[in-house]
Amino acid sequence: MDLDLKEKSVIVTGGASNIGRAIVLKFAEEGANITIADLDTEAGERVAALAKKAGAAGVQVVKTDITDLANVEAMFKQAADAYGGVNCLVNNVGWDKLMFFTQTTPDLWEKLIKINYVGNLNCTKVALEYMTPNGGGSIVSISSDASRQGEPREAVYGGLKAATNSFMKTIAKENGRNNIRCNCVCPGVTVPDSTDETSENSMWAVKDAMFTEDQFAAIAKTLPLKRIGKPEDVANAVVFLSSQKVAGYITGQVLSASGGYSMIG
């Protein structure tokens, strides 16, 4: 199906790795112009080469620290200068370190807050500045099913993702009048096929760093669909929500793409 994303200007933060990588490649199949905003430009360039082969109208990699507002503003300007504006933003960057809350420290809290929430605020703020005068756009934030159910060893991360859900709903209500749609996609456990699909900053860069194979198998057994998620499963949902043609009346929603782990009405 043609999603009418051809030559649209799309920014994907954290697009060099795992879910972000899959999102970039899915937009590429639709013929979009893509800006990969990532700290790891080497991995970003590898994804950019794949995106060009997949059909992207254009693709560039911009080294970006989403926790720095000035850096985000500069990245958006590069995207707008290259592709005539910004139509879609995917707030994909996220990071966690699995441990029980009693094991965490204020330094870790601060790092998690900056990466998982402040970065989202920065990118959304600048996106609205571009989209409002230009007839609208789409913002999709990658959240987590940990935000909906609560998950042991993800207390701070899950709380921040719940904050993201609420934030995006509010932004959707405030900016619907400007034809700006805002939604969240919540993955469950989502694992790349190999470490080749990750960057050095990824939680999944080291095999078995998060879960062992036995733990993955145990998780899969608990899911209605009986398998662990792949990055492409999330990417499909993101690209769907980004399309004005097929999702133009959808905003303020939190969609789980998690094999049925979370079933919330």
CA distance 150 to 147: 6
**Residue with tokens 């929500």, as numbered in its chain:** 241
Question: Which residue in the list 83, 117, 130, 157 is annotated as catalytic?
Answer: 157
Task: Tell the residue number behind the tokens 């929430």, with chain if given.
Answer: 117
Do 49 and 74 form a contact (C-beta atoms < 8 A)? no
Q: Is 117 a catalytic residue?
A: no
SS3 letters across the chain: CCCCCCCCEEEEECCCCHHHHHHHHHHHHCCCEEEEEECCHHHHHHHHHHHHHHCCCEEEEEECCCCCHHHHHHHHHHHHHHHCCCCEEEECCCCCCCCCHHHCCHHHHHHHHHHHHHHHHHHHHHHHHHHHHHCCEEEEEECCCHHHHCCCCCHHHHHHHHHHHHHHHHHHHHHHHHCEEEEEEEECCECCCCHHHCCCCCCCCCCCCCCCHHHHHHHHHHCCCCCCECHHHHHHHHHHHHCHHHHCCCCCCEEEECCCCCCCC
Active-site positions?
Answer: 157
